[in-house]
Chains A and B, each alone.
Chain A
């Protein structure tokens, strides 16, 4: 594998979820960086140039919608795919997320296979 590993930023305030996701993603060949709140996530998204972001919505400091919006309405970062992964299951939450520019939306608990398939379709 000479090709450089794709970098995924996981922003989630749950330590457990961060661990589970990073493990799953690393096994599937991705480099994973993690942030535990919106502010940190936004900072890392801008600084570390991830290929894709998995973003929770209910985040301390800056919530997921806001993080998504700030990235997607910034020409520099708007091309980074954002997957929302949230336990919020209301239609309105989904619509709000899409309105913020998110590429797709997964509800927790999630189907791992589908998530991986989506990631693959977005960044290869």
Chain B
């Protein structure tokens, strides 16, 4: 429901107050944010877009960001397409979102939605004059969920629910922050960082799908990035690349997957000057909280603390109620989003240990070994503690006796050449730390593990 006191993205960016050094860049372009005050990358009169439901589908991230600056407040609804959504899924989403206009860079395959749907071009450059908007609306922002299988769901946010969640920790008198993220900013995790950057006075460095991790890290270092975020999988990959030393951030943030103690410790060791924080957020629930004490999980006291965000643990899973929660899923067959009392079930299973809650896994990823439950992430967290291990993935292997058994794929660090010894040590470590049915029956040493476009470790769902 529109509220009277919303702010539009261009008002949040405030181009007139920005200096020439406040820029947004990708591997090929650098755009001064103050230029957004006069210019747009949208071709054709903006009045044509008024009240439309827009599908925003570009190959690169930058044209999407530039277009958003002048679509927000004008269009009724904007559906932001991540790079890896297929044309059939874009078609489904267009139906769900009642799309009547596509904004595209002309470089991406888009669904043919018929002649009634307008197509507007947006480019890499700010080459068109902006017309002053007559009357502003509170635009609905539709994001794809990061699920990796099946028809993706759309969730409805507004600029209000998307902003304000990430504190930059920049003290008075410090240089303006330079933000970056391994995420694509067309996904929730990346959009959070983008909007935080645009709301501040500094700059933003976009990742690039076509660029390798080493080249990105070099670019991040050259741009003097101070604040950078990614999933634990993104960060493991960065540490494994050997190029993490290209940058010297003041703030390192993890979100999107449970951060185990091993990755938190590894990042603190790699960036001793930086604050290493992990956040709990999902596309549906929004950003719930940051944990800044360097430990995995979160303090149990968060459950009872009064604030705008409420947490609860019910049926073993974490539930969140927050003003940053998405309004609803969008579409004819869309399930209701918040449950009773406005809480959203995150599907993340937590366990209390001492005065903290620890993430033990996703409810849907549970492996059933003869009726006993195993959370892959809990086993991975133990494996990842071994100094020879860079990253691991635990999965189910079908078995005629117990239905399934637990197996592990392990990537060893570059200096580890004795796989036989490492496997024996991993078995001993797991037997020492885990219940019998949780211990992997086999450890397979692999060169790499696949990461989904969302930046999360790819898992096969049972």
Partners in one complex: no
